[in-house]
């Protein structure tokens, strides 16, 4: 059975992990993703902060799995000509540079669109290629600040809490990049033409705030850190410290789940006061905090059962061993020629007839130079000449 994106060729110049997350999804679903990377002589491998060498990191690194790598020095005209030849046969081009960079390299949308009008060109940038912030540098923390996300994450009266780089990087840009490319490929089926897909970390982050923004526009009331039930103000939607100094999460927003929780904790009298504020809310909080300290996290999880919205607050070592995550194949083993079986995060989109799969681990820089150049018609002699001239590194 063919995979859903089999026959689609993607040129990937994303480089940073969040944008590479987008092309990872395309590769997982069968696309031939060619990673175009600078030679290691220009940008050497750097992962000193986690103490890994390049080969070991490539075995485990998920965002570049299912990809082939060609290393090109795009300061050289012959290297750009190779990109143009690749673009002639490609369906998608993805880049994640600051505004103006792809123009300087000669691989901008206008240039590649003339070579291949069917090409879907996806750009992922912080704030976009136009507007007052276009030239502003940034990272996840800055984008979620501007999108208002940091204003609602944290304890009442306290500082904002930084939620790692999950929101703007991987959800805001990464997932929206996948959606944009797939929509453009669907549109191409009708029009026969590719188009420019403009994804920004800020726009994607803002879209994740749709419900909160709608509530503000409707009521005029701004949600503040720790002041709404979604941000820690309510006993029915919170985390509680347990006897073993771990945490359990409670999400009993519906009245019947709240009633189940109150009965299970021996406080049926609190059922009518789910949304009560003031002293009654503080009384409920105090009672729940004291009760949850009487059992371990796992004991509470087992005791509360399946008719109460409860979850264990896991460390990552517990996440990868969880039976539900294992059952859903969200941690997969992949064969590596040097390291044997290595584990990867699984594929979250489950298709019954054409499922995705991890066919290969991430490549080393330039690992497939000769193979890719041969694919677009270069002879062995031409490839050797290019190598001697430093076009592929």
Per-residue pLDDT tens over the stretch 258-291: 999 999 999 999 999 999 999 999 999 999 999 9
Catalytic residues: 139, 169
Handedness of CA 91, 96, 99, 104 (dihedral sign): negative
Whether 168 shows a pLDDT value over 80: the answer reads yes
Second CATH level (architecture) for the domain 9-208+326-389: 3-Layer(aba) Sandwich (3.40)
Range(s) within the chain of domains with CATH label 3.30.1540.10 = 229-241+247-312
Whether 15 shows a pLDDT value over 90: the answer reads no
Residues in the chain: 393
Mean pLDDT calculated for residue range 343-349? 97
pLDDT band at 94; cut points 50, 70, 90: very high
Q: Going by DSSP bridges, is the β-strand pair 67-71/196-200 parallel, antiparallel, or unpaired?
A: unpaired
pTM: 0.93
DSSP summary character for residue 300: H
Backbone angles phi, psi at 327, to 5 degrees: -60, -35
pLDDT (0 to 100) of residue 77: 96
Instruction: Quote the mean pLDDT of the chain.
Output: 95
Backbone angles phi, psi at 206, to 5 degrees: -60, -40
Mean pLDDT calculated for residue range 121-133? 96
- Write the CB contacts of 244 (distance below 8 Å, at least 6 apart in sequence): 296, 297
Ramachandran area for residue 233 (φ above 0: left; ψ -120 to 50: alpha; else beta): alpha
pLDDT (0 to 100) of residue 52: 75
Give me 26's structure tokens: 């395309």
Scan for tokens 């030849």, then name that residue: 85
Q: Considering the domain 229-241+247-312 in this protein, what is its CATH number? A: 3.30.1540.10
Range(s) within the chain of domains with CATH label 3.40.50.10540 = 9-208+326-389
């Amino acid at each position: 059975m063919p995979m859903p994106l089999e026959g689609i060729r993607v040129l990937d110049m994303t480089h940073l992990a969040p944008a590479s997350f987008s092309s990872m999804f395309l590769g997982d679903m069968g696309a031939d993703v060619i990673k175009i990377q600078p030679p290691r002589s220009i940008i050497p491998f750097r992962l000193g902060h986690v103490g890994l060498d390049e080969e070991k990191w490539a075995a485990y690194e998920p965002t570049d799995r299912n990809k082939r790598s060609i290393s090109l020095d795009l300061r050289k005209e012959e290297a750009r000509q190779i990109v143009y030849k690749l673009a002639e046969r490609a369906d998608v081009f993805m880049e994640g540079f600051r505004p103006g960079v792809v123009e300087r390299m000669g691989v901008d949308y206008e240039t590649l669109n003339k070579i291949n009008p069917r090409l879907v060109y996806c750009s992922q940038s912080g704030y976009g290629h136009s507007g007052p912030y276009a030239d502003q540098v940034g990272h996840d923390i800055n984008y979620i600040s501007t999108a208002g996300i940091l204003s609602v994450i944290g304890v009442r009266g306290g500082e904002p809490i930084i939620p790692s780089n999950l929101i703007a990087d991987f959800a805001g840009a990464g997932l929206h990049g996948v959606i944009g490319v797939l929509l453009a490929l669907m549109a191409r089926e009708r029009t026969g033409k590719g188009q420019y897909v403009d994804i920004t970390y800020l726009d994607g982050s803002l879209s994740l705030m749709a419900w909160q923004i709608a509530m503000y526009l409707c009521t005029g009331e701004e949600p503040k850190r720790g002041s709404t039930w979604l941000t820690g103000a309510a006993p029915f939607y919170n985390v509680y410290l347990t006897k073993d100094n771990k945490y359990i999460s409670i999400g009993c927003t519906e009245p019947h789940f709240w009633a189940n929780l109150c009965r299970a904790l021996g406080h049926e009298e609190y059922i009518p006061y789910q949304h009560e504020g003031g002293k009654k809310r503080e009384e409920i909080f105090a009672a729940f905090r004291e009760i949850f300290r009487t059992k371990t996290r796992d004991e509470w999880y087992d005791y509360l059962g399946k008719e109460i919205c409860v979850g264990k607050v896991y460390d990552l070592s517990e996440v990868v061993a969880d039976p539900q995550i294992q059952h859903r194949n969200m941690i997969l083993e992949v064969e590596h020629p040097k390291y044997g079986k290595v584990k990867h995060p699984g594929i979250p989109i489950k298709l019954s007839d054409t499922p995705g799969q991890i066919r290969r681990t991430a490549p080393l820089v330039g690992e497939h130079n000769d193979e890719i150049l041969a694919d677009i018609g270069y002879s062995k002699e031409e490839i050797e000449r290019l190598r001697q001239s430093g076009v592929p590194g």
